[in-house]
Amino acid sequence: MSYIAHSENQEGRVHLLREHLLRTAERMREFSFSEELKPLLGIVGLLHDIGKYQEEFQDYLKKGGEKGSVPHAKWGAMLTRSNLINCTWFSFPIYGHHSGLPDHADWKPNTDLECDENLKKNLKAVLSHAKEDIPDIEEQIKKQWDEAKKVLDKYKDKKLAHDLMIRYIFSCLTDADWIDTDEHYFPEHGEHRSGRVLDPDAAQEKLDAHLREIESENAMNKLRAASRAQALSKAQDPLGFYSLHLPTGLGKTLTSFYWALMHAKKHGLKRIIIVLPYTSIIDQTAEILKDILGEDQVLEHHGGIIFEDSDKDQNKQDYIKKFAVENWNFPVIVTTSVQFFETLFSNKSSKCRKLHNIARSVVIFDEVQTLKKDIAAPTLKMLENVQDLFGCSFLFCTATMPVFQKRDKFDGLEKITPLIQDPQVLYNQVQRVTYHTLADLKEIDLFNVRERLLSVGQSALVIFNLKETTKNFYIQMRKEGVWEKVYHLSAFMCPKHRKEMIGLIRDDLHKQKKILVISTQLVEAGVDFDFPVVMRELGPLSSVIQAAGRCNREGKMGEGAGRVYIFLLKDTGYPGGEYKEEAEFTLEFIKEDPQRIHHLDLFQDYYQKVIDLYVKSKTEITNKREAYEKPEFKTIAQMYRVIEDTGTTAIFIRGYDSQSEKLYRRMAEKIKDGHKMSKEDRRHLQQYSVQVYNNFFQEAEGYYEPLGDQIYVWNGIYHKEIGITLKNIDEEENII
């Protein structure tokens, strides 16, 4: 009898179960980052679909039936708990390789042979059919098990390491299983899967050429070169945790990448993964690296990225990258914190497929101060285990380094090695701005902000905490006539609109026009503006410093010539609870002397107090940390959130331009024909969408309509400068 794993493909060929099990096992062995893990992974590959040897499952494949009506994953999971090997390490990944890693309470009764005598009989029949198809399958498993046991003994007393290794096995299995199944149905996909590996020598040659081209002999470039040389002196150090603490504008992106390149070369690491908090920074960082290394070396991965595949010859790079985002098999990855931590903490196969390719990598966390403080402890504990088990190195980069080391009442990292021995020296040399406060940080209103702004006589950037405040101040200032142009930037505008405005602002600054930009904090990372004056509403210390990084950025005005004004608004609000608490800490630290911001000891005191606040006062964090120490994969995935659910919904701006209108008509037609929108469709919509809070729908009743599931179309006012609005702020303005 021919046992099959999957139904006929387009060529009319069935996927033989024997071939699928052997190929999945071999591919899993190839994924292994060490020789000693290969037997362990080989066993899981052989057993994962052994439940398809059920007669009922073969009938289901050949005759048809409701999807999922004949479960198959539990049989391999049960077999791993039998006398054959009796190993829960294998049972969890096999049981969840379609539905996701389960909690203990779901896994145990569904894989326990002692509960049901009929299960034992049926399992014997399944194994008998498997031996008929692969005569030596039992011998292969037992032989590999003798080797695998030696590995398992190393980790049996390390609870979190044990759980991470289960996730690693799960990742290897889901990726290998998916690839083999996909290539059965679409054989041509195999040639488009990336086999590229990091070539440090070739990358270094290109990076050196780029640096020679861009770096002149001015003082700032000499400082960049000196700090880079100091960092590179530690590239030969052992695998572990490192920090790069550099002032804004001192070449952090290229210095960190150069160090990672040399560190990877020293230790034979496979790839460099750059983790960033915002898509705006990702776009910029990815473009820089693509320009240096080549399009074929850098994979950009975030929710808004779209890889076209309508013409597979014309867009070959996009087609290759379309597959590479599934498992990160690429030399250089530039991605988001959300993508990275979901890979480590999720229980879903689609998220975890990438995890095995984090092994043997250098991971750069840029803007690491944005890491959520309330989940800092479990996050750092996970990274510690990843570093230890997978042979990785982590580099934390920021201008304002948090205190992540272990200390009393905070279970942080044992050791973080700084690449810059005395960063305060560099901070003293690049004090491009002076800090000032308005009204000694007593509460003022927008009129007072306006008065100071009118007195500065130069181009200026003003940053507020809230969108509504930003909009109101823009409306007040846009007709002043003092500036050649006044711009507004906020999340009331769709991403494409913001990107276009940022381009215009950069162009005006390059032409040395006198302009005013009024923005939310979205400009504080990844947007390289250079203003002589920046005014910043009081916020978290990191936000204030990031705002200052948009002032006299290149130092062309001279030392300390940039002016940063910090002010506290009356009757204001904050984006969230954490933001408000950190803003209050900032007030406490700088009220007496804002020039303290130039001193690094302020950062340490500030971040220690912030982190301690969450460790001590938030009881739910204690509960979370206790849960992380249990094998409750589904529960952990639900509890761990890099970004909290803000209760926002996307509204698509159909009339933004001709392209958005065409996109709307295409989506509407698709839904009318009974089809659902794909992930690719939703990504196309994102560039024209605005996220609004749910109470907005009550205020805007009658101005929107549904488009498919959980997406709405905006039919109201979209102002060419403000974005989405309920009021026509100027009857004479053109409305998009």
Query: What one-character-per-residue DSSP string does 670-731 give?
Result: HHHTTPPPPHHHHHHHHTTEEEEETTHHHHTTTSEEE-SSSEEEE-SEEETTTEEESS-S-T
**H/E segment holding residue 535:** strand 533-537
HEC profile of 382-428? HHHHHHHHHCCEEEEEECCCCCCECECCECCECCCEECCCCHHHHHH
Q: Any bridge partners for residue 714, and if so which?
A: 653, 704
CA atoms within 13 A on the CB side of 197: 8
Residue 211 identity: L
Cβ–Cβ < 8 Å for 174, 24 = no
Q: Which pLDDT band holds residue 311 (cuts at 50, 70, 90)?
A: very low
Q: How much is the average pLDDT of 693-705?
A: 84
For residue 307, pLDDT beyond 60: no
Instruction: Report the first-to-last Cα separation within the chain, whole angstroms.
Output: 66
For residue 558, pLDDT beyond 80: no
Q: For the segment 393-414, what is each residue's pLDDT rounded down to a tens digit?
A: 999 987 666 678 777 777 788 8
Cβ–Cβ < 8 Å for 357, 328 = yes
Q: Six-digit token pair at 523?
A: 């400009």
Give me the torsion for CA of 537, 542, 543, 545, rounded to 10°: 80
For residue 625, pLDDT beyond 70: no
Instruction: Give residue 146's pLDDT.
Output: 87
**H/E segment holding residue 377:** helix 376-390
Q: How much is the average pLDDT of 654-664?
A: 92
Give me the torsion for CA of 89, 95, 99, 103, rounded to 10°: -60
Instruction: For 357, list phi and psi in degrees, rounded to 5.
Output: -90, 0
Q: Which pLDDT band holds residue 732 (cuts at 50, 70, 90)?
A: very low
Q: How far apart are CA 152 and CA 142, in angstroms?
A: 15
Return the residue matching tokens 């920046």.
534
For residue 218, pLDDT beyond 50: yes
Q: For the segment 242-272, what is each residue's pLDDT rounded down to a tens digit?
A: 999 888 778 889 999 999 999 999 999 999 9
Residue 484's contacts (CB-CB under 8 Å, 6 or more residues apart) are 508, 513, 514, 515
Nearest to 431 by CA among 399, 392, 464: 399
Instruction: Give residue 31's pLDDT.
Output: 95
Q: How far apart are CA 364 and CA 197, in angstroms?
A: 18
Q: What percent of the chain has pLDDT over 70?
A: 91
Q: Six-digit token pair at 458?
A: 């130069």
Instruction: Give residue 467's pLDDT.
Output: 93
Q: Which pLDDT band holds residue 390 (cuts at 50, 70, 90)?
A: very high
In order of 219, 288, 529, the CA distances from 250 in angstroms are 11, 15, 15
Q: How much is the average pLDDT of 527-551?
A: 92
Instruction: Give residue 621's pLDDT.
Output: 38
- pTM of the predicted model as reported, rounded to 2 decimal places: 0.86
Mode of pairing for the β-strands spanning 241-245 and 393-398: parallel
For residue 715, pLDDT beyond 80: yes
Q: For the segment 44-103, what is each residue's pLDDT rounded down to a tens digit?
A: 999 999 999 999 999 998 888 888 788 899 999 999 988 888 888 889 999 999 999 999
Nearest 5°: the CA angle 215, 216, 220 is 80
Q: For the segment 123-180, what is each residue's pLDDT rounded down to a tens digit?
A: 889 999 999 999 999 999 999 998 888 888 777 666 667 889 999 999 999 999 999 9
Q: How far apart are CA 154 and CA 162, in angstroms?
A: 10
Instruction: For 667, list phi and psi in degrees, rounded to 5.
Output: -70, -40
Q: From the CB of residue 314, how many other CB atoms can be counted at a distance below 10 Å?
A: 10
Q: Which pLDDT band holds residue 313 (cuts at 50, 70, 90)?
A: very low
Instruction: Give residue 733's pLDDT.
Output: 44
Mean pLDDT of all residues belonging to the chain: 86
Distance of CA 549 to the CA centre of its chain: 23
Q: How far apart are CA 380 and CA 360, in angstroms?
A: 18
Lowest-pLDDT range of 48-57, 424-433, 451-460, 652-661: 424-433
Q: From the CB of residue 67, how many other CB atoms can be counted at a distance below 10 Å?
A: 7
Instruction: Give residue 25's pLDDT.
Output: 97
Q: Any bridge partners for residue 413, and if so which?
A: 405
Who wins on pLDDT, 735 or 429? Answer: 429
Q: From the CB of residue 385, how many other CB atoms can be counted at a distance below 10 Å?
A: 20
Residue 87 identity: C
Query: What one-character-per-residue DSSP string does 540-573 give?
Result: -HHHHHHHHTTBSTT-TT-TT-EEEEEEEETT--
Residue 382's contacts (CB-CB under 8 Å, 6 or more residues apart) are 160, 164, 344, 345, 628
Q: For the segment 666-688, what is each residue's pLDDT rounded down to a tens digit?
A: 999 988 888 888 777 887 888 89
Q: What percent of the chain has pLDDT over 90?
A: 50
Cβ–Cβ < 8 Å for 243, 399 = no
For residue 607, pLDDT beyond 70: yes
Nearest 5°: the CA angle 639, 676, 638 is 5
